[in-house]
Amino acid sequence: MRLNLWLYKLERKISKIAIEKLMTLLTVAMGLVLITDLFLSLSGYEISIYGMLSFNRDLIFSGQVWRVISFLFLYPASSNIFLTLISLYFYWWLGNLLESYWGKARFNLYYLFGVIGSIIAGFIAGGMTNVYLNLSLFLAFAMLFPNTEVLLFFFIPIKVKWLGIVDGILLFISFIIGNWISRAAIIAAIINFLIFFGYQLFYNIKKAIENFRNRPKM
């Protein structure tokens, strides 16, 4: 509870400087990087904006300090451009939905904590990705709107809480089989999520266990 009070006070302090439509700005930047890379690739150039913006500890220490922040503008890499566009839309949709519910200050705070955690983890692991930071938005959405139904694959109705559980399982699997950069990114994203939702999560787990124990026996 003290943590929640501290977050509330911090939220009020940054309310005047919080960025409105933060996720819209980030996804637009990701889209511009994607379009530029596609143009360069089709034009026969062998350079990649993606590679120039990625987080690399050694290159940062050699003077390319923009990489500390520029990795936030990287689009989700995929061999399928359609999946990349769907992912960008998904990030935009989640971010704006959370901002409309929380307010811009709270959403900025959630994302800022995730960014700080990712940067620290990046310096420890040597590299960093923004994928798990952005996926942590879905964990927040699942906690806030567990019974909301969405259309999986655009036609299968399913409650968000079940997708949240699947997302948690996939994160666990990615942690087990992934490299140290992925593991560091997952740890940073989970810590950020627990800072904001840890109390509620453990309370929900406790209630679920109690309900299971007290269920009518046939």
> Which residue did the predictor score with more confidence, 80 or 17?
17
53 assigned to some structural domain: yes
| Mean pLDDT on 1-11 | 77
Tell whether the model's pLDDT for residue 199 goes beyond 90.
no
Residue 84's CATH number = 1.20.1540.10
Q: How many helices (H) and strands (E) does the chain have?
A: 10, 4
196 assigned to some structural domain: yes
The SS3 call for residue 79 is coil
Q: What is the mean pLDDT of the chain?
A: 87
188 assigned to some structural domain: yes
176 assigned to some structural domain: yes
Instruction: Please report, for residues 147, 151, 173, the alpha-carbon distance to residue 157 in angstroms, rounded to integers and kept in the order given.
Output: 11, 4, 25
Task: Name the residue range of residue 69's domain.
Answer: 2-213
Given a contact cutoff of 8 angstroms between Cβ atoms, the answer to whether 7 and 98 are in contact is no
In the beta sheet, which residues pair with residue 152?
156
**Is 0.75 topped by the overall pTM?**
yes
Instruction: Please report, for residues 28, 122, 154, 204, the alpha-carbon distance to residue 21 in angstroms, rounded to integers and kept in the order given.
Output: 11, 26, 25, 30
Domain count, the chain: 1
Instruction: Please report, for residues 119, 161, 168, the alpha-carbon distance to residue 65 in angstroms, rounded to integers and kept in the order given.
Output: 12, 39, 33
Q: Give residue for tokens 């050694």.
A: 58
Give the separation between CA 41 and CA 167, rounded to whole angstroms. Answer: 33
pLDDT in tens, 51-94: 999 999 999 999 999 999 999 999 987 778 888 998 899 899 99
pLDDT in tens, 134-168: 989 988 988 888 887 776 656 677 777 788 888 88
Q: Give residue for tokens 């567990």.
A: 146
Q: What is the DSSP letter of 127?
A: E
218 assigned to some structural domain: no
173 assigned to some structural domain: yes
105 assigned to some structural domain: yes
